[in-house]
């Protein structure tokens, strides 16, 4: 009898830990604009993150924390071990914000968000999502 109660306690513990881990899973979502929608410029881009802390880049490199980047009309970097550059289409939200207004020309655009650490190096496993939108005249 004692053994079966122990087994039950163990089972409940395992299930609880499993549920807690599922609840802590890191998720990143572009909440604005809606994917495949037609919008007008300036376009406000907003993100929602679960299980990960968004903080200013000046806070340095901290486990489980970083800031957003938006890659506009450029592919994801080939080498995700290198810091995200500061060239055209590479937007850093180093102030720790969740939203950014972008001036975009009319036409089709790809927006990809990448979360990177205080040194601008994409976090591992990568936290990224890409959407396509159309900006009308």
Strands 65-72 and 90-92: antiparallel
| Angle value at C-alpha 98, between 93 and 104, nearest 5 degrees | 65
Tokens of 101: 């207004």
Interface residues with Cu ion (CB under 5 A)?
A: 92, 120
* C-beta closer to Cu ion: residue 39 or 121: 121
Is 38 strand, coil or helix?
Answer: strand
* C-beta closer to Cu ion: residue 69 or 135: 69
Q: Minimum CB separation from Cu ion for residue 24, in Å? A: 24
* C-beta closer to Cu ion: residue 100 or 120: 120
HSE toward the beta carbon, residue 71, CA cutoff 13 A: 18
Q: Minimum CB separation from Cu ion for residue 70, in Å? A: 10
Q: Minimum CB separation from Cu ion for residue 136, in Å? A: 30
């Amino acid at each position: 009898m004692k053994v079966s109660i122990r087994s039950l306690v163990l089972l409940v513990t395992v299930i609880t830990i499993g549920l807690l881990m599922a609840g802590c899973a890191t998720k990143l979502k572009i909440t604005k604009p809606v994917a495949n929608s037609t919008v007008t410029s300036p376009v406000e881009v907003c993100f929602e993150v679960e299980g990960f802390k968004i903080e200013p880049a000046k806070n340095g490199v901290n486990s489980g924390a970083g800031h957003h980047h938006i890659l506009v009309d450029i592919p994801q970097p080939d080498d995700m071990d290198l810091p995200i550059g500061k060239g055209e289409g590479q937007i850093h939200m180093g102030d720790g914000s969740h939203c950014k207004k972008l001036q975009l020309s009319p036409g089709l655009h790809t927006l990809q968000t990448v979360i990177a650490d205080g040194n601008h190096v994409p976090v591992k496993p990568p936290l990224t999502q890409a959407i396509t939108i159309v900006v009308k005249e």
